[in-house]
Chain A
């Protein structure tokens, strides 16, 4: 049953229209026993050990872009935040704030997309909320998610980078900059055409295989806003150690390079939605790389550098031409340059 018409204020007012929307759209797609019970809180089974808990807001514009939409982004972003913390993602909550007039068919596409990603990631969307605001009070649709996961003790330290040591290797699971450049091109009507797509994807499957397949992972983070550079600078700051990266080893798509050259952007600062940076003890690096490459989300994985004793707290880039420079934290959004 393809929905048509637009979201009205009534859809958020708790009455019959909202009930119908919840049943026909949300329950129909996020189908599981927890959400079906429609209680004010989902009562979930517990497990011994630690809980990982994360929240995120999604306001991407445009709402639909090559490679995905705001809903897919919301599920993948939350799942990934849990997975890089060493957790098995289990349950998600979803809250929608929708602008009056938003097409129902678009909402349906977004919801179906979320259901599909949740199914792939084996997480359940167990509770949610819907609000509708008058036209002009929100930009089409905002989604806020929270996620719960279970962390086994041996992985608890991964986010804190406590085990990172000089000599450890730095890895990435594929090409950088795809998402940011896709969004920029779609949003700013720069009128570049390319086959570039967002890399938005749930990485928990690949990460689980890595964690179970080998010891030695000392740190993981997803490289979202701020890009590869953001994560590396944060890591160097956190550990007080130095990081050395080889530009020739960083996987970048030709299209991303082309667009970045045209606009004067640095691919290292461009956002990703399906990429993680991880640190692995040297003797396990190759094995972990192999595990990553076998997974769909890690086919172009690479070892891009290492942790060092020298230049503490700083990230050094060995450029493809043999020079060296520091990688720094981006100050804000990159803007197209003319000089």
Chain B
């Protein structure tokens, strides 16, 4: 597959790993904030290639995992309304709400369908004029333009049996919030596809305010290792800045068409991140002029509070302050099959990974 295989080349990967080993003298903490990066690091066995000076943290980069219980409970409530069909991206069905999951509700008879693209839910709406389709809008700046495009398409087509429950979130507030809360990070491996949409200007503030490197990375092993080399070099040279490693996809100004769509349909607001809490200005809400496509307004949903399960310390695990072994729920109550917190919901979350290592011995 083009533009993939050459970035997995063993020799190049080996050479980059060696360069990192030579360059990295001082202890450095790097954080990636992208589920795609978390998965890639695991899939390609990247951590094993790094020297002991480098500590790689997995931050809250998986929009599925940081969806709060309030959002899931709202989705379940909507699923319970006769005539409603819920369309969702796949992995959301396992995320626990305060008492159930979408998967469990489906087993009880709710019409909940997994879609690959938001456009599939528009198609379902056309095919089922007697039903109302609610699309669960999750994802960061990479995915929000698709939802925006779908809402505009629905309006153009005069579709009235479609709406979106938005839990879209944006990255920069959480990236700042983590550091403000005292998480020690020396450099950010910045999300590649979020940045393809947003451009990199939004990272300059972080780089300058916190004097730390931010390098936008691709998703193949060569990309991630080159990014780490760049961050390590910046760190050793005391030269923190914003750089783009993923130049074949990310332009400094990003994708203006996509950004315009986001701005047209969404407005920023406060949002809840599972395991972290409320972060001001971190969520994308549907603008009032599109209220007929906003499931929250359309169905007059009451505000359902977000609950962090008692005993869950995902917040501290996500920040690298505690390990899963410090958590009383870990493996006794919270397991990959019955996850409680964000770190276990994601197959590559810190807790899910710890659990796998612990199980085999």
Contact = CB atoms under 8 A, between A and B. Distances in A.
Do any beta carbons of A and B sit within 8 angstroms of each other in the complex? yes
A319 interface: yes
Given A313-B361, A337-B91, A338-B64, A323 B44 contact: yes
Interface string B36-68: 100100111110110000000000011110000
B116 A339 contact: no
Interface stretch (A18-26, A128-136, A254-262): A254-262
Contacts of B218: none
A1 B4 CA distance: 53
Nearest to B336: A331
Contacts of B139: 338-339
A313 B360 contact: yes
A322 B225 CA distance: 12
B94 A335 contact: yes
Q: Secondary structure at chain A's binding surface: helix, strand, loop or mixed?
A: loop
B63 A339 contact: yes
Interface string A251-270: 00010011001111010000
A320 B61 CA distance: 25
B1 A257 contact: yes
B239 interface: no
A324 B34 CA distance: 21
**Most chain B C-beta atoms within 10 Å of own C-beta, residue among A190, A236, A264, A337:** A337
A328 B356 contact: yes
Nearest to A318: B45
B4 A261 contact: yes
B143 interface: yes
Interface stretch (B9-17, B20-28, B266-274, B278-286): B9-17
A339 B94 contact: no
A336 B89 CA distance: 7
A314 interface: yes
B19 to A, nearest CB: 14
**Most chain B C-beta atoms within 10 Å of own C-beta, residue among A264, A322, A324:** A322
A321 B35 contact: no
B311 interface: no
B90 interface: yes
A323 to B, nearest CB: 3
- Chain B: interface size category: 35 or more
Interface in A286-339: 312-314, 317, 319-326, 328, 331-332, 335-339
A188 interface: yes
Contact of A188 (B49, B64, B94, B114): B114
Contact of B1 (A258, A313, A322): A258
A246 to B, nearest CB: 11
B10 A322 contact: yes
B13 A321 contact: yes
B106 to A, nearest CB: 12
A320 B8 contact: yes
A263 B8 CA distance: 19
Nearest to A328: B356
Contacts of B63: 338-339
A338 B91 contact: yes
A324 B116 contact: no
Nearest to A331: B336
A237 B361 CA distance: 9
Nearest to A332: B337
A261 B4 CA distance: 10
B149 interface: no
Nearest to A336: B90
Contacts of A325: 42-45, 48
Contacts of B34: 339
Interface in A103-147: none
B261 interface: no
A195 B136 CA distance: 32
Interface of B: 1, 4, 8-10, 13-14, 17, 34-36, 39, 42-46, 48-49, 61-64, 89-91, 93-94, 114, 116, 120, 138-139, 143, 220-222, 336-337, 347, 356-357, 359-361
Give the 4 A-B CB pairs with smallest separation, nearest first: A323-B45, A339-B35, A335-B90, A336-B90
18 contacts: A254-B1, A258-B1, A314-B360, A319-B45, A321-B10, A321-B45, A322-B14, A322-B17, A323-B221, A325-B43, A325-B48, A331-B336, A331-B347, A335-B94, A336-B91, A336-B114, A339-B39, A339-B91
